[in-house]
Chain A
Amino acid sequence: GENVEQHPSTLSVQEGDSAVIKCTYSDSASNYFPWYKQELGKGPQLIIDIRSNVGEKKDQRIAVTLNKTAKHFSLHITETQPEDSAVYFCAASTNTDKLIFGTGTRLQVFP
């Protein structure tokens, strides 16, 4: 079955710097890759997703890149702000309903 690895497990950056979180997946049939943000005491919330027919997608300060050949995808957050502090999860799916989640990255943005 699908396996998703996520790195790093923790990431600390200064406000205004960029943050990058990387994930790799094992199933070459996976074609949907969402990223979720989880704030303390809340459920995960989708922030951006990408499908395998595109290599990059951007939404304001957030971007996701996908390398199907290498089977990895990354989340890029530019101009980080303290409110970006949260746990971020990547996931992969073969267009079924079963999202396989990575282990999460705790991002801390220091003012």
Chain B
Amino acid sequence: DARVTQTPRHKVTEMGQEVTMRCQPILGHNTVFWYRQTMMQGLELLAYFRNRAPLDDSGMPKDRFSAEMPDATLATLKIQPSEPRDSAVYFCASALGVTEQFFGPGTRLTVL
């Protein structure tokens, strides 16, 4: 059963702490996306990679957010330092090429 996995599912942290979220894309998918979902802004694309190379991170606050793909089976999204306004659900999605995106279950982040 191929699916995108994300860890952790829930994270509560204090302002100023570093947060790392991980994503394992579907095996064979070459495109990985990071989205953030909030009530106010809806679903926003933060960044995405193809064949592990970053293609677009224009949606990501550069001063505190970073996204990487250390290898084809792992994508990471880091926030340092975290702020209360970063509280949201962060989704990873993967795709083969430019069509259907398969979403993971999300990481619910709460920054106190």
Contact = CB atoms under 8 A, between A and B. Distances in A.
B100 A34 contact: yes
B43 A43 contact: no
B42 interface: yes
Interface in B5-62: 31, 33, 42-43, 45, 48, 50, 55-56
A72 to B, nearest CB: 18
Given A43-B93, A43-B103, A43-B104, A97 B42 contact: no
Nearest to A91: B43
Contacts, number: 45
B103 A97 contact: no
A46 B4 CA distance: 14
A48 to B, nearest CB: 11
B53 to A, nearest CB: 13
A104 B41 CA distance: 11
B87 interface: no
A14 interface: no
B-side interface mostly: strand
A45 B103 contact: yes
A43 B100 contact: no
A43 B48 CA distance: 17
A97 B95 contact: yes
Interface string A75-99: 0000000000000010000011111
Nearest to A34: B100
Interface in B55-100: 55-56, 91, 93, 95, 98-100
Given A44-B103, A95-B98, 15 more contacts: A43-B105, A45-B103, A46-B100, A89-B42, A89-B43, A96-B98, A97-B31, A97-B33, A97-B50, A97-B98, A98-B45, A99-B45, A101-B42, A102-B42, A103-B42
Interface of B: 4, 31, 33, 42-43, 45, 48, 50, 55-56, 91, 93, 95, 98-106
